Each structure stands twice: as C-alpha cells, then as structure tokens.
C-alpha cells in the first residue's frame, strides 16, 4: 500500500509541474529595463546641444528590446534609442537634444524612460554667457621711457548675457 501512495503522489506532482510549465505560469520573469541618468554638466546653454548618458540594465529573466526615450520639460520623446539586452546585461547609451533658442531660462526636468522605469534629473537652462570683442581703434606708435601707453579701443559684448570686463 505504501508503494501505491508514493507512486500516486509522484504522478500528481509530475502532473502539477508539467501543467505549470506548459501554461507558462512557472517561467523566468519577463525583461525589466531599469535606467540611470548620468549628466556631466547640469547647466545647458539655450540654443546648444546637450548629451545625457544612460545606463540601462535588464533586471528581468528574458532578452528583450525596448525603446529608451528622453523628455525635456513638457517636450516628450525629443530623443529615442532602441536597446536589446540579455538578462542582467547593462549598456550605456547617449541621448542628445538641442535646447530651443527661445526656451525659458531656469530649471527644467529631464526624464529618461524605458517601458518599465524612468529616472529624472533637474538641469538649468542658461543664456549664452557674455563674450567681449575688443577692437583697437588707435594706438601710439612710440612710447617714451617711463611714459604710459594710450590706447583707444572699442569693446562690444557679443554674448547673450550682461557681464563685466575685468
């Protein structure tokens, strides 16, 4: 009788495991892409391109492909890249965007998204810094010993912000 109970238990367990595997109820987890934003400079100049580096890791149990996208403030999907990763594989990608010339100065949130995760960081949009163009208009040809040099110059700030010339 004990032999019969053991055989019946073995058959029931075998049937249960076979059912679980055939119905995909007991399989490794789906692919899950986790992201981490890496930014070298938290200030970006209006009208110029900036680049965000993103480490993407597949923390799930299956190989998959996902599109990673960059949101800039309220502008969604300003840059995208498709990534295929095996389980536990990590890849670094670059996403770039040009800040519009008329974008408001100040802080803006940028977000990188996968199908499963997102990571955000705040950056500051600044105007083009001051840049001084110096043009010498007139200069003395000879300077006697012990005398000062007199120069007539025109200085123009061709940058995008006010500034001081020191």
pLDDT for the residue numbered 25: 41
pTM for this predicted structure: 0.64
Domain 33-126 has CATH 3.40.50.1100: no
What confidence tens digit (pLDDT) does each residue in 75-132 have?
A: 999 999 999 999 999 999 999 999 998 899 999 999 999 999 999 999 999 988 778 8
Domain boundaries, the chain: 1-27, 33-126, 128-166
Distance (Å, whole) CA 142 – CA 128: 39
3-state helix, strand, coil in the chain (%, to 5): 15, 50, 40
pLDDT in tens, 40-71: 788 999 999 999 999 999 988 899 999 999 99
Question: Which parts of the chain fold into alpha helices (H)?
Answer: 2-22
């Amino acid at each position: 009788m004990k032999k019969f109970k053991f055989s019946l238990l073995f058959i029931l367990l075998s049937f249960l495991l076979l059912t679980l595997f055939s119905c995909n109820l007991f399989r490794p987890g789906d692919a899950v892409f986790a992201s981490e934003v890496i930014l070298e400079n938290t200030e970006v100049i209006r009208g110029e391109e900036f680049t965000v580096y993103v480490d993407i890791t597949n923390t799930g149990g299956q190989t998959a492909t996902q599109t990673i996208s960059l949101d800039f403030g309220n502008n969604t999907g300003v840059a995208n890249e498709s990534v295929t990763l095996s389980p536990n594989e990590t890849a670094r990608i670059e996403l770039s965007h040009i800040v519009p010339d008329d974008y408001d100065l100040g802080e803006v949130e940028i977000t990188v998204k996968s199908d499963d995760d997102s990571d955000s960081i705040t950056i500051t949009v600044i105007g083009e810094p001051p840049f001084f163009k110096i043009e010498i208009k007139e200069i003395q040809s000879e300077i006697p010993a012990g005398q000062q040099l007199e120069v007539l110059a025109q200085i123009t700030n061709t940058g995008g912000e006010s500034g001081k010339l020191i």
